[in-house]
Amino acid sequence: MECVLGLVGRDFAVVAADTSAVQSILVHKTDEDKVMVLDSHKLMGASGEPGDRVQFTEYIQKNLHLYQFRNTTPLSTAATANFTRGELATALRKNPYMVNVILGGYDKDVGASLYYIDYIATLHKIDKGAFGYGSYFCLSLMDKLYHPDMTVEEAIDLVDKCIKEIRLRLVVAPQNFVIKIVDKDGAREYARRELVGDNASASAGAAATAVAA
């Protein structure tokens, strides 16, 4: 029941994801970071099979570092998206990675940008997007509330609305989320949204009531 979402604002991009590590019906941990900082100005949110997700995101991160060491300049966000797409396309005909990616970055000459890359190597530049079961709720909210000139506060408010809707309406919903942002000052963690103790019980009760209704 993974959820990864992202959007582009005025001069920044936000990528958020749940932090649950799940296998079958078991939740093994609730602090798994699925949004990797690729370099100083790029974020990669990924969903999919845990082994593929970890191995592939680390592979992309290390290749970006290698390119920068060799050429003394980092890849742009667009070039990173195309490199990622190329690696998925190559693997698709050999040993496919079951990984879906939302890539956000900031370039001095372009500004903030966001890319959607799925496990069959489909690449699109987007303003907003989501993967996982949570996308059934997030995409409709984004269609209604998103606008290209959003401030950071407006973008985080929209992400919070998406998280609230996932917690309320998804039958087996992840409770904890991490939100990261990238802008001219770099890529960094912005906030975490966690349910603990009584809050988690109240949310579960509300969801059960909603299902019963």
- Within 1-59, strands assigned E span 3-8, 13-18, 21-23, 26-29, 35-39, 42-48
Q: Mind giving me the DSSP string for 101-129? A: EEEEEEETTTEEEEEEE-TT--EEEESEE
Q: Name the pLDDT band for 23 (thresholds 50, 70, 90).
A: confident
Dihedral sign from CA coordinates of 165, 167, 169, 174: positive
Provide the mean pLDDT of the chain.
90
**pLDDT, greater one: 205 or 50:** 50
Superfamily of domain 3-194: Aminohydrolase, N-terminal nucleophile (Ntn) domain (3.60.20.10)
Range of lowest pLDDT (26-40, 160-174, 196-210): 196-210
Q: CA of 114: how far to CAs of 102, 117, 170, in Å?
A: 7, 10, 26
- The pLDDT, as a whole number, for residue 89 is 96
Contact by Cβ (8 Å): 165, 130: no
pLDDT single digits (tens) 109-156? 999 999 999 999 999 999 999 999 999 999 999 999 999 999 999 999
SS3 62: helix
pLDDT single digits (tens) 169-196? 988 888 899 999 999 999 999 999 998 7
Range of lowest pLDDT (14-18, 100-104, 173-177, 198-202): 198-202
**pLDDT, greater one: 92 or 198:** 92
> Tokens in use for 195?
């349910």
